[in-house]
Amino acid sequence: EIVMTQSPATLSVSPGERATLSCRASQSISDNLAWYQQKPGQAPRLLIHSASTRATGVPVRFSGSGSGTEFTLTISSLQSEDFAVYYCQQYSSWPPLTFGGGTKVDIK
């Protein structure tokens, strides 16, 4: 089973600042990585797939990078609606499809 580790667990950022979230895989997953955003009381929403491809309707301030075992989600200028929990998910090897533990982005 591929283990996904996200860091930090919580990231405190001021509106307008840049946020950088990390996701590490226990073995190489090429670019087989997705990112999701989950707001309180809502279902997760796909943001990024294939490590760096934005899903339909996702603002350009969200960008993904990385390959192999190290991945980054960057939010270039945080808006109020971006404060949420973010999860990464690998689909390189299954079953199981595995998620990271999540990073909560809250207001500094």
Partner 1 sequence: DVQLVQSGAEVKRPGESLRISCTASGYRFTSNWIGWVRQMPGKGLQWMGIIYPGDSETRYSPSFEGQVTISADKSTSTVYLQWSRLKASDTATYYCARLVDNWGVPYWFDPWGQGTLVIVSS
Which residues of this chain interact with partner 1, rule CB under 8 A? 1, 32, 34, 36, 43-46, 49, 55, 87, 89, 91, 94-102
> Is the CB of 64 or the CB of 82 nearer to partner 1?
64
> Is the CB of 32 or the CB of 83 nearer to partner 1?
32
> Is the CB of 9 or the CB of 107 nearer to partner 1?
9
Least separation in angstroms between CB 46 and partner 1: 4
Give pairs for 91-98: CB < 8 Å, separation 24+. 91/29, 91/32, 91/33, 91/34, 92/2, 92/25, 92/28, 92/29, 92/30, 92/32, 92/33, 93/2, 93/27, 93/29, 96/1, 98/1, 98/2, 98/3, 98/4
